[in-house]
Amino acid sequence: MPEKWTGEVVGIMHVNRISYQLLADKIGWHVKYLSAVMNGHRKPAGAERMVKDALNEILSEIGSVE
């Protein structure tokens, strides 16, 4: 079962048209690994912080909608 924070991240990604590939590249993960984390199949330590930090970097680079 995915964690609540993953839904929040996906929503922000959708609104700002950020792809899984772009986010995975920013984190330094393979896109399939990011997908596994976001879907609750993998739970690496610090994943929430890493994903949110990378997402915030992308948002600051592109100028977020939210």
State how many domains the chain has: 1
27-34 CB contacts, 8 Å cutoff, 24+ apart = 27/51, 27/54
Has residue 65 got a pLDDT over 70? no
Q: Any idea what DSSP says for residue 45?
A: T
Name the average pLDDT for the chain: 94
Residue 2 has what pLDDT? 80
Range of the domain at 32: 4-62
pTM of the model: 0.90
Compute the distance between CA of residue 31 and CA of residue 21 in angstroms, rounded to an integer.
Answer: 6
Residue 23 has what pLDDT? 98
